[in-house]
């Protein structure tokens, strides 16, 4: 497949890619080095424009650029450094671009999404990731009736919201972002526990709420498969 960074597509015949894991601030970060040459331009302006497009494809400010090294997978990256050289006589440019992904994992371009109609506290749902490492689900609950102290667990980790989700309101536990929202408002300070995970070996999610709840909700579990 063609390797892409944002809207920029690299010519794999003239580009090399190297990956490594580095510890940054106590966490693992994947570092990707892209080295290549720019050929086929008819002017110096064209060579410089191609190099400018490559450096502009990733920001130094945040991890917002989408890098795809393998089919159906992506990483969100920032630019660490960029070096360029131009041979003016031959109209050939060369470059080395270093990118960093905040997460050491690749993730699927497409989300897996599964609906779940909850009708009782203690109900379960089986889910499975297709990557080779656990996925971090986004669990969306739309209350039918009043839901008090809802929680979701995977048998090891449980995230609980201490509060009430009124009829028709939407509560989201976003494991990838590490944030919980109620009607779009951040309610993470009112949660306790850890966000559940979805394992490649299979995970049983369990829903629990307070005895005074209606125990009824429409739930969606969405996640991206991930790989080392």
- Give the class (CATH, top level) of 111-227: mainly beta
| pLDDT > 80? residue 26 | no
* Exposure class string for 138-168: b at 16+ Cβ within 10 A, else e: bbbbbbbebbbbbbbbbeeebbbbeebbeee
What integer is the mean pLDDT of 198-202? Answer: 95
Say what the pLDDT of residue 12 is. 87
Q: Mean pLDDT score of the chain, rounded to an integer?
A: 95
Q: Give the residue extent of every domain in the chain.
A: 3-104, 111-227
For residue 189 the two structure tokens come to 């300070």
47 near 31, Cβ under 8 Å?
Answer: no
pTM of the model: 0.84
Say what the pLDDT of residue 219 is. 98
Say what the pLDDT of residue 218 is. 98
Say what the pLDDT of residue 127 is. 97
Q: What is 3-104's CATH topology?
A: Elongation Factor Tu (Ef-tu); domain 3 (2.40.30)
For residue 20 the two structure tokens come to 């490594």
38 near 87, Cβ under 8 Å?
Answer: no
| pLDDT > 80? residue 27 | no
Q: pLDDT band for 100, please (50, 70, 90 cuts).
A: very high
């Amino acid at each position: 497949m063609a390797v892409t960074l944002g809207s920029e597509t690299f010519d794999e015949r003239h580009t090399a890619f190297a990956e490594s894991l580095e510890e940054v601030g106590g966490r693992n970060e994947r570092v990707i080095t892209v080295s290549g040459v720019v050929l086929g331009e008819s002017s110096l302006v064209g060579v410089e424009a191609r190099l400018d497009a490559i450096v502009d494809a990733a920001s130094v400010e945040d991890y917002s650029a989408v890098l795809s090294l393998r089919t159906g997978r992506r990483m969100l990256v920032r630019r660490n450094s960029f070096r360029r050289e131009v041979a003016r006589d031959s109209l050939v440019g060369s470059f080395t671009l270093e990118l960093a992904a905040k997460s050491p994992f690749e993730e699927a371009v497409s989300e897996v999404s599964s609906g779940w109609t909850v009708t009782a506290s203690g109900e379960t749902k089986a889910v499975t990731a297709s990557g080779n490492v656990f996925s971090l689900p986004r669990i969306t609950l739309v209350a039918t009736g009043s839901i008090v102290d809802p929680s979701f667990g995977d048998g090891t980790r449980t995230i609980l919201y201490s509060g009430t989700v009124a009829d028709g309101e939407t509560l989201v536990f976003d494991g990838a972002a590490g944030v919980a929202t109620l009607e779009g408002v951040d309610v993470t300070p009112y949660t306790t526990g850890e966000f559940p995970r979805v394992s490649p070996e299979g995970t049983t999610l369990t829903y629990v709420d307070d005895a005074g709840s209606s125990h009824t909700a429409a739930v969606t579990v969405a996640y991206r498969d991930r790989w080392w």
